[in-house]
Structure 1
Amino acid sequence: MTEKHGKVMGPVDYLMIRFPGNKFTGKIAPELNNLEKKGIIRVIDLVMVMKDARGKLMIVEAKNLEGDAGAAYRELAKHTDEWFSEGDIEAIAMTLPNNSSAGLLLFENVWAIKFKEALLEADAELIDMGRIPPESIANAEKHLLAKGGA
């Protein structure tokens, strides 16, 4: 059972979102705020990694972002913890091409907590968990659109 401060936590996922050409803005922040307010997710950590044209890395926690992007993420950043280690961040950052940025997002699936508690109360055991790759989802969406669905 995963607990923090005596509280059952939902599953935790991470995303790495690339911004080619270092065109990072705060346009994603309102939707992340919306998902938190609805109790769907809880943002745990949010880090920006920027790689210039020569490959020099700059790593910035969301709470330290400046400008318009910083203002957009300030509300989310108030409640984040630093779960990503510097080694984790650097390993992920090395995969970035030069002249690009990435947002590293770690979030708890709050929606799953009550389901997890029900499983625990029923003495059920989770035996496997996974995620369908984005490419498979894109193929399924194309298939649905071709059939006139979705």
Structure 2
Amino acid sequence: MTRTPIDQLCPVDYLVVEFPVGKSTFSGEMATELVSLVEAGTIRLIDVLILTKDQNGTVEATEFADLDDLGPLQVLETELAGLLAEDDVIHLAASMDPGSTAGVLIWENLWAAPFASAARRAGGQIFADGRIPIQAIIASIEADDTSRPEGV
């Protein structure tokens, strides 16, 4: 990210995916999709962290560089900037259930770079962005479906 000229920086997002005890089935599909997004130029991966919280609440944070076999993700490891700090880990871990594992991803939205650059050249600045959680959208759709009269 530091190699990107300031005028070309774009919005940065994060995603935390928690895997409850006994629910994780890492088949490699997530890694394949992540590599595809990077190779297509849709995103630039900034940081990835794996958090594990044991039954006693102790949290271990693992960086990509600390893993022995990254498989298809090996190509992404050298580009990571390591943006997450210890305070971030503590904050995220507080929300995790004991015995769970979480993957934390931070990425730059390369698809938005041309628009963000054009906005800056026009004198504007992106001062806020956000994300509507998919759970909120699903809840809204379900609420709308139950409040609609039958047959409409």
TM class by shorter chain equals 0.7 to 0.9
Q: Quote the residue 2:56 is aligned against.
A: 54
The percent of aligned pairs where both chains have the same amino acid is 30
Q: 1:128 offset after TM fit, Å? A: 4.1
Note if 1:4 corresponds to 2:2. Answer: yes
Q: Deviations over 1:73-102 (max 9, x none)?
A: 322222111100012112211211111000
Indicate the SS of the match to 2:107. strand
List alignment gaps of at least 5 residues for structure 1: 145-150
Cα 1:127/1:9, change in 2 over 3 Å: closer
Note if 1:27 corresponds to 2:25. Answer: no
The letter of the residue matching 2:58 is K
Aligned Cα root-mean-square deviation (Å): 2.4
Indicate the SS of the match to 2:105. strand
Equivalent residue for 1:44, pick from 43, 46, 54: 46
Q: 1:60 offset after TM fit, Å? A: 0.4
Equivalent residues, number: 141
List alignment gaps of at least 5 residues for structure 2: 146-152
Moved more, 52-61 or 32-41: 52-61
Larger Rg: 2
Q: Deviations over 1:57-79 (max 9, x none)?
A: 21100222235xx3243222221
Contact 2:9 2:117 in 1 (8 A): no
**Structure 2 Cα separation of the partners of residues 12 and 39 of structure 1:** 14
Moved more, 132-141 or 14-23: 132-141
Cα 1:72/1:111, change in 2 over 3 Å: same
Q: Quote the residue 1:124 is aligned against.
A: 124
The letter of the residue matching 1:37 is E
